[in-house]
């Protein structure tokens, strides 16, 4: 075994979705082992999980700091830290999650780096990607080998592959983009866009009253 629950160090936390109190247990490492973010040492105290079903005893997964794992979440070779909250039936594999991140419902994250106020939910699938700084993936959206940051969003049946979404760009509906760079206020919602770079802005008209 690589860790155990600290039975005498449990707390009731409000469930992020239901608001009802849920007892979570702090964890403590029973031996030295390598995680995705470096060496976890014997007797190192970690974050909170609801049960041993959340954290495999055999792989490199770890929950650190004030991170919390609820419900039937499954972690595989992943590192969760900061104030991250993972709940519902979501699955995280070979990924690093930190900061104020929420991953829930049936979302799946694999081979990715997620940090800084990110929400991933619905049945969204994130793979080989990076999401930072107030970004959202929801619905049935897929993000593959791509980067999102600075207020961007994917939703609906959107599929983003080999692309970058910056500023407040959005892909939604049935939109598909491949090998693109969208920034500014660009929105793509239908059909497939390939090998393009777009940066759309909104012009503001200012009316002044003449004296």
In the chain, the domains with their CATH numbers are 1-79 (no CATH), 124-202 (2.160.10)
- CA–CA separation, 177 and 6 (whole Å): 47
Q: What is the pLDDT along the chain (211 residues), one digit of tens a residue?
A: 999 999 888 999 999 999 999 999 999 999 999 999 999 999 999 999 999 999 999 999 999 999 999 999 999 999 999 999 999 999 999 999 999 999 999 999 999 999 999 999 999 999 999 999 999 999 999 999 999 999 999 999 999 999 999 999 999 999 999 999 999 999 999 999 999 999 998 665 555 565 4
Is pTM beyond 0.85? Reply is: yes
- CA–CA separation, 168 and 201 (whole Å): 10
Q: Which of 154, 149, 148, 153 is nearest to 174 (CA)?
A: 154
């Amino acid at each position: 075994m690589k860790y155990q629950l600290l039975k005498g160090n449990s707390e009731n936390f409000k469930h992020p979705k239901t608001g009802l109190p849920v007892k979570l247990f702090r964890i403590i490492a029973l031996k030295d082992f390598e995680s995705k973010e470096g060496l976890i040492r014997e007797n190192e105290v970690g974050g909170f999980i609801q049960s041993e079903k959340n954290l495999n005893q055999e792989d490199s997964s770890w929950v650190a700091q004030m991170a919390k794992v609820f419900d039937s979440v499954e972690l595989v070779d992943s590192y969760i830290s900061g104030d991250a909250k993972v709940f519902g039936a979501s699955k995280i594999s070979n990924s690093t999650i930190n900061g104020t991140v929420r991953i829930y419902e049936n979302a799946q994250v694999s081979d990715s780096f997620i940090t800084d106020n990110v929400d991933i939910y619905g049945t969204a699938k994130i793979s080989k990607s990076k999401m930072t700084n107030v970004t959202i993936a929801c619905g049935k959206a897929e993000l593959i080998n791509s980067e999102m940051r600075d207020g961007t969003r994917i939703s609906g049946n959107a599929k983003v592959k080999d692309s970058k979404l910056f500023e407040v760009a959005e892909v939604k509906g049935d939109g598909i983009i491949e090998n693109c760079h969208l920034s500014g206020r660009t929105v793509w919602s239908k059909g497939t866009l390939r090998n393009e770079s777009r940066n759309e802005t909104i012009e503001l008209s200012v009316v002044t009253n003449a004296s």
